Amino acid sequence: MSLVDDLHAAGLTGRGGAAFSTAVKIRAAHDHGAHLVVNACDGELGAGKDAWVVEHHLDELARGAALVVGGRRGRRSVRFAAHRGSRTAALLAAAGVDLLEVPGRYVSSEETALVSLAEGGLARPLTKRRPVVTGGQHADGRRIPATVVLNAETLWRVAQVEAHGPGWFRSFGTAAEPGPRLVTVSGAVLRPGVLETSAGVPLADLLDAASPAPAAAHVGVGGLGGILLTVSDARGLRWSTADLAHHGGSVGPGVLEVLDPSRCPLDVVRERLAYAAGESAGQCGPCMFGVPALSAAWDRLAARPDAASRDEVRRHAGLLPGRGACRFPDGVARFAASALTVLAPHLAAHATGSCPRPEVGHRVQHA
Ligand code: SF4
């Protein structure tokens, strides 16, 4: 069987968050003679698994990359993308690979933003008329050659499927989401880090492995493009898209962040949305104006948590999905809408001032 056949049989999907079939993507890359960009940026807030793969499995990651370009590296380049100044970038540079240094902004590691950067443009998402694996165009009309972008964990899994076979791969996970996968757990936990797991395990097991703060009440699933859950709801779910979909989520990029119970959760969300408002690449009106408007609406909710403020957040979040060239605004809207639902019981305590006071000066750090 060919590599593509093996990957199809294994059911490997991209581990960066989109969960698209890796076999389909690699077949298209082969058909179009695509260059390869390995995304090791950990672009989602709270993500750390790309760094973990680079640190612990770089040889297999490189093997996966070589498999994808089919041994014809002279014609098809392989570049490894990591955030400028990061430890991952330093490790890749020390290993002597072709490093693509990426600015530390949220959308800079979006698939087409990496392709644009690799071809000498800005690290901003491209307007897509067709998948970038078939080629694209800069805003100034210059042609962009066919390029496939694959996440670092995905390529490590490609090497594993080639080494151990599709049967081995499918011995982990569920029928719908097969294979081993990584999850980064952070926030108010005693043991933050990257866990090796698979879909279908109880979410409670993942939380307990990281030892969350006893009073922890909320957990973010999927970062800025994900959802918020109460810890009690999370403990009743399996780590699977089938379960998380009931709350609007998915396993996505494999990110769990336990919120600090000593902080007001409305304020934590307020900071995330303020961060998002500054991260739009400023190319699409609904995103450029809509994300800051959503952030401002949440500010008003935190200041006066009444029904009118709730409706305003809901209205602004409802205006964003499907309106940008990339999925950034969709993710932010999903996160805000989920937080609004999950924090509804908290609003009364917030209105009376009995929730924890916001910490002045606390800021979100980009992964
Ligand atoms: S949706 Fe926002 S982040 Fe995405 S390309 Fe448009 S302006 Fe940039």
**Average pLDDT, integer, range 75-85:** 92
Residue 363 above 50 pLDDT?
Answer: no
Write the residue with the smallest CA distance to atom 1 of ligand 1. Answer: 324
**Average pLDDT, integer, range 31-46:** 94
pLDDT tens digit sequence for 277-300: 999 888 888 889 999 999 999 999
CATH code at 3-167: 3.40.50.11540
pLDDT tens digit sequence for 309-361: 999 999 999 999 988 888 899 999 999 999 999 999 888 888 787 776 554 43
CA 282 / ligand 1 centre spacing (Å): 6
Write the residue with the smallest CA distance to atom 8 of ligand 1. Answer: 281
Confidence (pLDDT) at 70: 78
The reply to whether the predicted model has a pTM over 0.85 is yes
Atom of ligand 1 nearest to the CA of 282: 7
Cβ(206)–Cβ(239) below 8 Å: yes
CATH code at 180-258: 3.10.20.600
CA 43 / ligand 1 centre spacing (Å): 15
Confidence (pLDDT) at 361: 39
Q: Give dist(CA 251, CA 14) in Å, integer.
A: 11
Coil vs helix vs strand at 26: helix
Structure tokens at 146: 């066919």
CA 204 / ligand 1 centre spacing (Å): 35
Cβ(172)–Cβ(238) below 8 Å: no
Confidence (pLDDT) at 18: 83
The domain segmentation of the chain, as residue ranges, is 3-167, 180-258, 265-351
Confidence (pLDDT) at 237: 97
pLDDT tens digit sequence for 228-238: 999 999 999 99
Architecture of domain 265-351: Up-down Bundle (1.20)
Residue 126 above 90 pLDDT?
Answer: no
Residue 219 above 80 pLDDT?
Answer: yes
Atom of ligand 1 nearest to the CA of 107: 3
Residues with CB under 6 Å of ligand 1 are 107, 125, 280-284, 287-288, 324-326, 328-329
Atom of ligand 1 nearest to the CA of 279: 3
